[in-house]
Amino acid sequence: MDKQPVREPLRNWVIRAGITLLVAGSLYLTFGLLGWFPLELETIAWNNIRIVSGVAIAGCLMAAFGYGDE
């Protein structure tokens, strides 16, 4: 049996927060492109496509930093 690696609580939090941001940003981007959520493509707003995509990318990077060398 493989044992789960023992991580510091901060690393676990960073991984969970990163995956949460990744899922939230990806879902909002997908639903926005489908027309179900408002998604601004031209003006600067909180739901601009670049900002929503940036949230997903930031979540991916946070999770990667949390996992480290595993």
CA gap 55, 18 in Å, rounded: 9
pLDDT tens readout for residues 53-65:
889 999 999 999 9
pTM: 0.80
Residue bearing the bigger pLDDT, 60 or 49: 60
**To the nearest whole percent, how much of the chain has pLDDT over 90?**
40
pLDDT tens readout for residues 30-42:
998 898 988 887 7
How is the chain split into domains, by residue range? 9-67
CA gap 15, 8 in Å, rounded: 11
Amino acid at position 33, single letter: L
* Residue given tokens 């991984």 in the structure block: 15
What is the 3-state secondary structure of 1-26?
CCCCCCCCHHHHHHHHHHHHHHHHHH
* Residue given tokens 């044992």 in the structure block: 3
